[in-house]
Amino acid sequence: MASVTIRNLSEETKGLLAQRAQRNRHSLEEELRQILNATAKAEVGSADVQEPFGDWFFRITRPGFDELAENIAANRQLPDRPMPKFD
């Protein structure tokens, strides 16, 4: 198991987390472990991870751009000549 040290955490934040842990009947360490696990797993299923917002926005505001980009890529071809050798 890995260990993590968090520096410069305010006493207020630590106290609030300790209160939360007490309400949930966990140790502070267990509470923090559950918070970190839930946060890390939530991001994996996020739609923004699958397609970033900027890409999505660009796609929906420019209909037909995907086909245009595919056509341009398909028409690009390497010249029919041998690759130079650098011996």
Q: What is the pTM of this model?
A: 0.51
25 phi-psi bin (left φ>0, alpha ψ -120 to 50, beta other): left
- DSSP labels, 27-70: -HHHHHHHHHHHHHHHHHT-HHHHS-HHHHHHHHHSTTHHHHHH
Residue 52 is which amino acid? P
Give pLDDT tens digits for 12-70: 999 999 999 999 999 999 999 999 998 888 777 666 667 777 777 877 787 777 777 77
Q: At 36, phi and psi to the nearest 5?
A: -65, -40
